[in-house]
Structure 1
Amino acid sequence: MKPTIPPQSFGDSTLHGGLAPTESASASPFAPRASLFDACHVGVVLRVVLFTQAVAGVAAMFATASVLDWLLAFSLLTGGVLPATLCWLIAVCALKTRLNRLAPWGQWLGGTLLGTLTGLYGCGLMALLGLAQPAQWWASGAAGALLSAVVLAGLFWRARAAMPAATAARLAELQSRIRPHFLFNTLNSAIALVRAEPRKAEAVLEDLAELFRHALADPAESVTLGQEITLAQRYLDIEHIRFGDRLRVQWSLDASADAARLPPLLLQPLVENAVRHGVEPSAGGAELKISTRRRGSTVVIKVTNTAPAGSGPPGQGLALANVRERLFLLHDVQAQFSTAFKDGVFQVRLEVAF
């Protein structure tokens, strides 16, 4: 005889937007040190190039009186500034692993020295081409050091944006996002299964333990899409105990996309959001579809759920905001996040670099 699972209210605060905290790392002594040298992203390269070119454009204004003179001076400066900037970015990206092993002050010193050297390189290049007579070696070296220090400050701020100030902040954030009712419902389901189906009760508790293990683990590093899919499957296995036939799931997975990198606990909050807004409020349940597909150098992830008749699109709540923020912190301009609601079907679509 199959046991009856007592109905429980999910409440309004469940794994609230997922088990993962908004930020992606802890500043505790046990967490990896924040890297200043995250200059290998396309978005970072674009911003650094635009910043240095803007500085060069403003500097050219001080030595010119007309627009044509400014364009000429700016073009001459670009001949030295742009190669020097690209050289600095390439060097910082190539030496990223070694520089990250240094203490913070060593990282700052290394990046600034590289800026000085590339500033001298730019000056030498302009002198070689006859664009700077006489060559301003001291000014170029100082400018390279100053600009690299400003860029490093920006990279440091970007890295700090991905982590809370202390372990206590991370734990408080995590605690505020865990829905007590989810835990209670799962434990009640396991209790109801203990005598009649002990193996299934054991599986439910194992899935719950795995979810909380991932929530409490240090999420400083990215994980693979394959790992995220496995975790989402465990979550849905738990929810199947409570919702039964009301929860209908369809998987359409591309194995070649499993190696894509994602922030930890990114897919599970999306699946939970679909259960919360699709299955939970509907007496007849809902259909969920999770699909992945690799398209060249990108991977497309879709989470779709049917909504109860007469309901509108789910609000852009904490769950989706959490996912969007952490996705862009990892992939920057190489990531896309969008939602759509049409004909009673809500879809979240993610696109990330492979």
Structure 2
Amino acid sequence: MTSGSGKNRPNDDLTSPGNGFFVPDLCRVRSVFMLVVSSELMALLLAMAHARGQWIDWSYFGLVSMLVQWTVLTCAALICLARPWLSRRSTAGATLAMVVLVAVDVVVFSSLASTFIYPEPGPERWQATGKSLLIAVIATLMVLRYFYLQHQWRQQKQAEMTYRLTALQARIHPHFLFNSMNTIASLISTRPEQAEDAVLDLSELFRASLRTSERLVPLSEELGLCRRYLALEQLRLGDRLTVEWRTDPTLANQAIPPLTLQPLVENAIYHGIQPRTAGGTIVIESQRSGDYVYLLVQNPLPEPGAQEHQGNRVAFSNTQARIQALFGETAVLKNSRQENRYTVTLRLPWQTVSRYP
């Protein structure tokens, strides 16, 4: 299994799901801030509706604001403490429990506030408490409904993304199978040990292409697949292929989607080395700058008159779709042509992933 850690984690916002429970973690600082701002806006609306002959009844706003803030913060704290218990209940059961909790909390604080507003017992005190309770229950149900719909939407988007990633990864299969098999067949009689190594390299590549359960792997593992692929191509191309590695060993645990670099290296072979009579040099580089890791694959441009194949753009767009589905806008894939060299640059957020048995 894999586990990731690093600076670029998902944002801790108010609507972020946690542990499959549809209500977000209200213990987080940003969640508390959003609750305070939202409740203050609600108090402002109530003060505007209550005002007579002016825009806002500031005295009423102060009282309502104090009551709403105390109620919202205590309810958030209670829900936060009860979260482990609530997450084990059904959606209906958890909703009912939270509504009851909010109702009890509102009755307590509203009763205390009513004693200051209405010193003498009377129907006004009970009416104010009843209105506060009704408003709180309606608002709670609306907020919980919003959280539930957001949770359902996020689950659906996650399922769609997982399906899309699996489909994209399944499409990225090395199309050098027949060339590799022919090379292996020619080596069996003359160099059986190299033929055996080539079979192992080929099996590892196809095993990786069929392994769709892992979303992120260490960069060292992805580079290992690139080395196996290049070893196979070296048998076919011989001296026409030269590889220059400029990789940073400290980035071995950088998280990367499986089969991200290998298709780019494959493109460098088929569109930069193979069409050239003299072959050329492929440069594979990794470096870190701040909160980002940059991976570069560079190859010589085809000779004048060579036609660019559609597969080059397909592999590029597939890889781009995969990294953006996993990392969002922080991941960038771009290409450039300069001084007869074609360079593909992949930028990923600095995030580590470790492999455990």
TM-score (norm 2): 0.62
Structure 2: segments with no counterpart, 5+ residues: 1-8, 17-29, 50-54, 113-130, 351-357
**Could you tell me the percent identity over the aligned residues?**
25
2:317 is the alignment partner of 1:321: yes
Question: Which of 332, 335, 341 is the matching residue for 2:337?
Answer: 341
Once residues 287 and 203 of structure 1 are traced to their aligned partners in structure 2, the CA distance between those partners, rounded to angstroms, is: 23
**CA deviation string 1:46-68 (max 9, x = no partner):** 9879xx99xx7xx9899889xxx
Once residues 117 and 286 of structure 1 are traced to their aligned partners in structure 2, the CA distance between those partners, rounded to angstroms, is: 72
Structure that is richer in helix per residue: 2
Letter in 2 for 1:155: R
Once residues 209 and 221 of structure 1 are traced to their aligned partners in structure 2, the CA distance between those partners, rounded to angstroms, is: 20
Question: Which of 166, 173, 178 is the matching residue for 2:173?
Answer: 178
Please say if residues 115 and 147 of structure 1, whose CA atoms lie closer than 8 Å, have aligned partners that are also in contact.
no
In structure 1, what is the equivalent of residue 210 of structure 2? 216
User: What pairs up with 1:129-140 in 2 under 5 angstroms?
Assistant: 134=132, 136-140=135-139
Distance 1:214 1:115, change over 3 A: farther
In structure 1, what is the equivalent of residue 117 of structure 2? none
In structure 1, what is the equivalent of residue 141 of structure 2? 142
In structure 2, what is the equivalent of residue 6 of structure 1? none
Please say if residues 251 and 289 of structure 1, whose CA atoms lie closer than 8 Å, have aligned partners that are also in contact.
yes
What is the DSSP-based 3-state SS (H/G/I as helix, E as strand, rest coil) of the residue aligned with 1:164?
helix
2:40 is the alignment partner of 1:41: no
Q: CA RMSD in A?
A: 4.9
**CA deviation string 1:149-204 (max 9, x = no partner):** 12212321221122339xxx96x87775535x511111110111112111111111
**CA deviation string 1:80-111 (max 9, x = no partner):** 7xx98xx89xx7xx98xx97xx8xx96x6799
The structure number with the bigger radius of gyration is 2
**CA deviation string 1:254-283 (max 9, x = no partner):** 111111111111111111121121112222
Letter in 2 for 1:334: T
Query: 310-319 vs 228-237, which deviates more?
Result: 310-319
Please say if residues 168 and 318 of structure 2, whose CA atoms lie closer than 8 Å, have aligned partners that are also in contact.
no
Distance 1:112 1:257, change over 3 A: farther
What is the DSSP-based 3-state SS (H/G/I as helix, E as strand, rest coil) of the residue aligned with 1:327?
helix
In structure 2, what is the equivalent of residue 238 of structure 1? 232
Letter in 2 for 1:164: Y
Letter in 2 for 1:41: P
Once residues 226 and 113 of structure 1 are traced to their aligned partners in structure 2, the CA distance between those partners, rounded to angstroms, is: 50
2:132 is the alignment partner of 1:163: no
2:227 is the alignment partner of 1:227: no
User: What pairs up with 1:3-152 in 2 under 5 angstroms?
Assistant: 41-42=10-11, 45=13, 134=132, 136-152=135-151
2:185 is the alignment partner of 1:191: yes
Distance 1:273 1:110, change over 3 A: farther
Aligned residues: 285
What is the DSSP-based 3-state SS (H/G/I as helix, E as strand, rest coil) of the residue aligned with 2:163?
coil
Please say if residues 232 and 268 of structure 1, whose CA atoms lie closer than 8 Å, have aligned partners that are also in contact.
yes
Query: 281-290 vs 213-222, which deviates more?
Result: 213-222
What is the DSSP-based 3-state SS (H/G/I as helix, E as strand, rest coil) of the residue aligned with 2:202?
helix
In structure 2, what is the equivalent of residue 289 of structure 1? 283
What is the DSSP-based 3-state SS (H/G/I as helix, E as strand, rest coil) of the residue aligned with 2:275?
coil
Once residues 343 and 269 of structure 2 are traced to their aligned partners in structure 1, the CA distance between those partners, rounded to angstroms, is: 12
TM-aligned CA deviation for residue 348 of structure 1: 1.7
Query: 265-274 vs 141-150, which deviates more?
Result: 141-150
Please say if residues 117 and 141 of structure 1, whose CA atoms lie closer than 8 Å, have aligned partners that are also in contact.
no
What is the DSSP-based 3-state SS (H/G/I as helix, E as strand, rest coil) of the residue aligned with 1:284?
coil
Query: 310-319 vs 282-291, which deviates more?
Result: 310-319
Distance 1:177 1:300, change over 3 A: closer
Once residues 176 and 221 of structure 1 are traced to their aligned partners in structure 2, the CA distance between those partners, rounded to angstroms, is: 15
TM-score (norm 1): 0.63
Once residues 336 and 101 of structure 2 are traced to their aligned partners in structure 1, the CA distance between those partners, rounded to angstroms, is: 47
